[in-house]
Amino acid sequence: MGFQNLCSSDNPVADRAHFQRMYEGMVKEEKRQTQIPEFVRNERTRMIESHTPPVRQIESKESQAPESVVRAAPEHINKLLEELYQSMGTGRRA
């Protein structure tokens, strides 16, 4: 959506509907994440950090801080999670 697009939009009804869809999706994902046991979330985070190369973020012109390093979550994380679930004897989680 973005602040600029929201401010310059001529259709507040569509903007409201779009915002509501995005918000509901975020709430649903947050609820799903809280249902995953903490040790699984921790293992997922560890897998992502250990199996992904660092990706350099582009520094903004206003910032004089050194470039940040973030981790990108690759598609093979799902495979690693599946292996974790199988090792736990629970099978695939939705």
The boundaries of the domain holding residue 93 are 37-51+69-94
pLDDT band, very low/low/confident/very high, at 27 (cuts 50, 70, 90): very high
How confident is the model at residue 62, as a pLDDT? 59
How confident is the model at residue 25, as a pLDDT? 92
27 and 73 co-located in one domain: no
Q: Is the pLDDT of residue 19 over 60?
A: yes
11 and 46 co-located in one domain: no
- Spatial contact of 48 and 71, defined as CB atoms under 8 Å apart: yes
In a domain, 88, yes or no: yes
30 and 42 co-located in one domain: no
Q: Quote the CA–CA distance of 45 and 40 in Å, as a whole number.
A: 9
User: Number of folded domains in the chain?
Assistant: 2
Q: Taking residues 15-25, what's their average pLDDT?
A: 90
How confident is the model at residue 51, as a pLDDT? 85
41 and 18 co-located in one domain: no
Q: Is the pLDDT of residue 6 over 60?
A: yes
Q: Is 83 exposed, middle or buried (0-12, 13-18, 19+ CB in 10 A)?
A: exposed
Question: Burial code of 24-56, b = ≥16 C-beta within 10 A, e = fewer?
Answer: eeeeeeeeeeeeeeeeeeebbeebbeeeeeeee
- 33-82 tens-digit pLDDT: 889 899 998 998 898 888 888 777 776 665 554 555 555 556 667 777 77
